[in-house]
Structure 1
Amino acid sequence: MNLDKVRLSRRNLLKGAGAALVAAGTAGCSETVKPENPGVIGKDGKRVLPWSNWSGNQHCQPNERLIPKSEDEVADIIRNATQNIRCVGSSHSFSGLVPTDQTLLSLARLRGIENVDKDALEVDVLAGTRLSQLGKDLWTHDMSTINLSDIDTQAFGGVLATSTHGTGKELGTLSTHAQKVHLISAAGDKLSCSASENTDLFNAVRNNLGCLGVVTKARIKTDKAYYLREYSWMMSEEEGLERAEELRDAHRHYEMYALPHSDYMLGIAIDKIDPADIPADQAEPSGDAYEAFRMMSNLIDYMPFARSWLVNFGASGVEPETRYGASHEIFGNLRDIRFNEMEYTVPAEVGPQCLREILQTIKKQNIPVIFPIEARYIKGDDVWLSPFYKRDGFSISCHNFHDKDYKKYFAAIEPIFWKYDGRPHWGKIHTLSANEFAGRYERFGDFLKIRQELDPQGRFLNDHLRYTLGVV
């Protein structure tokens, strides 16, 4: 075997890391839908295909799929509905937020931006707009998002449902960019809210889990168009943990990728840059090496005793790398390798300590995983169900290939997150119930009250949400 092929570049590591966004919380979890499933005959007499999320760990068979073309049509659908409705975006959530055997509603036709105000740096974003397209659309108006997640395939409505975030000590989630949110209630009424109008609803809807109504669009704050420089390098695990706060404070964005069973950690620092300082002869970024990462994983299946040596060998060959580009080009990373993920956010001050304990546990229990663990700093906010509510956070994301067993891995590390007062990402795997969420969020009861007022019949609930929110 040619071991040089196993060496992993920085892009390879990210690709491997991408092979791990997680899945399905406690309720509504089941086996992947078989591809030959022909669907069912729906309410209108036409065939309705089954739905599956990106990784395949969540699926359902709705009896109706609807794709409205306008906000008015959304309101008509809700007003005339005789069964429950769940919205679906880009299918990138790994908890049971979407599955339903009734109406599955997609806002894929409500895409784009409207009412661009270049002076105020504000714009209306339709809920079905993918983040990747949002960055491109804003760029044509000499504008950029203030921040962006490293996976940009999500629909904007899903962003507001789950507090999607990027990284940055002084930068909050993408929900904190929202200035005004429009949604349609279970009664079919069009509502709007902001920091000065329906304030409680505003603080609830910016992490709404799709259970307060259907968000159709939101006005967001943006930035003037800007360019970024991204520098990535490998360092020892100990150096990465010790310097985490220092590097966080030194850069606009900073994140780490810890390599289980190794002595290494990848650092990624991103900062704004004057376009005049971008070199004309940029080096081509190193190619995708999913094959190398997968080959290493498969090899370890047969040679588990060589796991640490192989990962260290691959990490030792990673050279520093620099990329330049428009903001949305640098933020977004290709994630076409399927995976499952658990993400918890702990208080920023204990983040490196929590990560250290997770890495030690993986080694001590010899957990068979080599996917990098992503760790990021995010500024606190006032969104009631945000994992960053009233505290700056350190998010730790653990992954595994979609066809590898993640359950034992996540079961071993989830109690560590609890030990450090962690709050799970709503769209990723966790095992918490309503009672446990109530202990983590002081406004949990207030959120439930608003949900009851807007949707007394539970029109926007499914089994997973009933369990998570404690709704009988």
Structure 2
Amino acid sequence: MASDIWQNWAGTQRASPRQWATPRNTRELAALVVEAATRGWHVKAVGAGHSFTGAAVTDGVLVSLDNFSGIESITPTDDGALVTVLAGTRLRALNEALWQRGYAMTNLGDIDAQSLAGALGTGTHGTGAAFGGLATQIHGLEIVTADGAIVTASADQNPELFEAARIGLGAIGIITKVTLACSPRFTLRAIEKPDTLSHILDTLDDECRTVDHFEFYWFPHTDRVLTKRNTRLPGDTPLKPVSAIRTFVEDEFMSNTLFEGVNRIATLAPAAIPTINQISSRLLGAREFTDRSYRVFASPRRVKFKEMEYAVPVEHVKDLLHEINQWLQRTGTNVAFPVEVRFAAADDLWLSTANGRDTAYVAVHQYHRRSETEYFAAVEAMAKAVDGRPHWGKMHNRTIDDLRPTYAKLDNFIAVRDKYDADRVFDNDYLRQVLGA
């Protein structure tokens, strides 16, 4: 109903669409798009609502792809398989289904609640200096365009549409299925342990070169970090997962229930945050375990937060972290959430945050009950100064005018958009911000 209100997971975006739709198949979706365009209404597809930006917000028709779920086909290859997946499939379900068939996503982010199309369309990535973001795994796709056409695209078929739609921000059309290049299933040996920020920054180059998937979390107002080193092993490696009791204590109670309580206290008494961070950073002990790849990559996140993430050339990440630390000290701003740092290989996707350069990702968070405005604005200015690129699905204030210089193919993308959606059926405020009117 038109009076119903949609909001995203973090509560940072809300919408009151004229119509909600859950089409049963691609033909129904195409007809819905044509009807909306005839009425002059906008159309947006929504997945799990895990984007912090307004990527899915619309005043027209809000389309759920929940009926577009599951694996359609698998074609084995010499190094894995080409797997065609319906676009509304949640990553959590896809990971399990792939494993049962002997395959796995080559890399993943640390949250698995998103729909496949939503994760791909906003440039979701994991970590690992030799690995690209999720969209680099796309081999082909099917997309419903503004005129209701159902178009197949790949490097050989409609190549410009393929290039634009791999990270398309929902601006080109509604993706209905994706063919992914998947790996044979593999396990990960995870080593998680505390360290110091100063030591990690001194050894960062070696960590990125020698560890398959390296990341760390820095606790502001301390020199303490939690490191995560994941090493790829064959799929038949014996599993040694974290025990059920330890999983509950560390992943559920400490990382979610206790962390929620800590942030509520921090909201009431911000001056206590530096002490809280000192204590929190020492509560997390070392652990080592081996499990299915997707179980190691992703972890539950139940504490609501707001997030901004910037992709910077990897050679600038150390200076950026030092600048953030100095700004916190200089301004007296207290932040309870750790700063997350991850890495990715350069790629050639038009709107990828790692386009053309090896990349470090610096993600800053704020508890949803606290203001993030000054903190995020300061970090954004620092990142922008070193040609940082904002994650398309996370909070930022960038516009087309200052994004164009950092994306050599942005005008190519806009030209493809003009071709396939000249009337801007899939437009909204966020797209006008980052792609222009």
Q: Which residue of 2 aligns with 1:79?
A: 34
Aligned partner of 2:338 among 361, 366, 372 = 372
Structure 2 contact 266–336 (Cα < 8 Å) conserved: no
Give CA-to-partner distance per residue, 1:271-302, whole Å, 9 cap, x none: 12354454489583343223433443344455
Q: Which residue of 2 aligns with 1:63?
A: 18
In the TM superposition, residue 177 of structure 1 has moved relative to its aligned partner by 0.3
In the TM superposition, residue 407 of structure 1 has moved relative to its aligned partner by 1.2
Call closer, same or farther: CA 1:114–1:375 in 2, change over 3 Å.
same
Q: Which residue of 2 aligns with 1:193?
A: 153
Q: Which residue of 2 aligns with 1:49?
A: 4
| CA distance in 1: counterparts of 2:282 and 2:409, whole angstroms | 47
Q: Which residue of 1 aligns with 2:179?
A: 219
In the TM superposition, residue 364 of structure 1 has moved relative to its aligned partner by 2.1
Structure 1 contact 132–152 (Cα < 8 Å) conserved: yes
User: SS where residue 231 of structure 2 aligns?
Assistant: strand
Question: Which amino acid is 1:177 matched to?
Answer: Q
| CA distance in 2: counterparts of 1:362 and 1:425, whole angstroms | 22
Residues 40-189 of structure 1 aligned to structure 2 (within 5 Å): 42=2, 48-81=3-36, 82=39, 83-119=41-77, 121-189=81-149
User: SS where residue 178 of structure 2 aligns?
Assistant: strand
In the TM superposition, residue 303 of structure 1 has moved relative to its aligned partner by 5.0
Question: Which amino acid is 2:160 matched to?
Answer: D
| CA distance in 2: counterparts of 1:399 and 1:317, whole angstroms | 20
Structure 1 contact 129–156 (Cα < 8 Å) conserved: yes
- Return the structure number with greater relative CO, CA threshold 8 A, min gap 6: 1
Structure 2 contact 242–289 (Cα < 8 Å) conserved: no
User: SS where residue 363 of structure 1 aligns?
Assistant: helix
Give CA-to-partner distance per residue, 1:18-62, whole Å, 9 cap, x none: xxxxxxxxxxxxxxxxxxxxxxx54xxxxx521000011100100
Question: Which amino acid is 1:444 matched to?
Answer: L
Structure 2 contact 259–303 (Cα < 8 Å) conserved: no
| CA distance in 2: counterparts of 1:358 and 1:250, whole angstroms | 27
Q: Which residue of 2 aligns with 1:20?
A: none
Q: Which residue of 2 aligns with 1:435?
A: 401
Is 1:409 equivalent to 2:375 in the alignment? yes
| CA distance in 1: counterparts of 2:120 and 2:240, whole angstroms | 37
Q: Which residue of 1 aligns with 2:364?
A: 398
Call closer, same or farther: CA 1:291–1:79 in 2, change over 3 Å.
closer
Residues 268-279 of structure 1 aligned to structure 2 (within 5 Å): 268-274=228-234, 275-279=236-240
Q: Which residue of 1 aligns with 2:165?
A: 205
Question: Which amino acid is 1:74 matched to?
Answer: L
Is 1:240 equivalent to 2:195 in the alignment? no
Structure 2 contact 274–334 (Cα < 8 Å) conserved: no
Give CA-to-partner distance per residue, 1:338-371, whole Å, 9 cap, x none: 1110001001121222122112212221212110
Question: Which amino acid is 1:84 matched to?
Answer: H
Structure 1 contact 248–254 (Cα < 8 Å) conserved: yes
Give CA-to-partner distance per residue, 1:178-210, whole Å, 9 cap, x none: 001110111111112212222222111111010
Structure 2 contact 271–334 (Cα < 8 Å) conserved: no
Any runs of at least 4 consecutive aligned residues in structure 1 with deviations exceeding 6 A, and if so which?
none
User: SS where residue 123 of structure 1 aligns?
Assistant: strand
Q: Which runs of 5+ in 1 are unaligned?
A: 1-40, 43-47
Q: Which residue of 2 aligns with 1:459?
A: 425
Structure 1 contact 118–141 (Cα < 8 Å) conserved: no
Question: Which amino acid is 2:435 matched to?
Answer: L
Structure 1 contact 182–190 (Cα < 8 Å) conserved: yes
| CA distance in 2: counterparts of 1:440 and 1:229, whole angstroms | 36
| CA distance in 1: counterparts of 2:213 and 2:81, whole angstroms | 21
Structure 1 contact 236–265 (Cα < 8 Å) conserved: yes
| CA distance in 2: counterparts of 1:459 and 1:218, whole angstroms | 22
Percentage of matched positions with identical amino acids: 31
User: SS where residue 235 of structure 1 aligns?
Assistant: strand
Structure 1 contact 261–308 (Cα < 8 Å) conserved: yes
Greater CA deviation, 369-378 or 93-102? Answer: 93-102
In the TM superposition, residue 165 of structure 1 has moved relative to its aligned partner by 0.5
| CA distance in 2: counterparts of 1:368 and 1:137, whole angstroms | 43
User: SS where residue 378 of structure 2 aligns?
Assistant: helix
User: SS where residue 137 of structure 1 aligns?
Assistant: helix
In the TM superposition, residue 213 of structure 1 has moved relative to its aligned partner by 0.8
User: SS where residue 340 of structure 2 aligns?
Assistant: strand
| CA distance in 2: counterparts of 1:281 and 1:78, whole angstroms | 47
User: SS where residue 65 of structure 1 aligns?
Assistant: strand
Structure 2 contact 17–62 (Cα < 8 Å) conserved: yes
Question: Which amino acid is 1:102 matched to?
Answer: G
Question: Which amino acid is 2:340 matched to?
Answer: E
User: SS where residue 96 of structure 1 aligns?
Assistant: coil
Structure 2 contact 313–388 (Cα < 8 Å) conserved: yes
Q: Which runs of 5+ in 2 are unaligned?
A: none
Is 1:356 equivalent to 2:344 in the alignment? no
Counting matched residue pairs gives 426
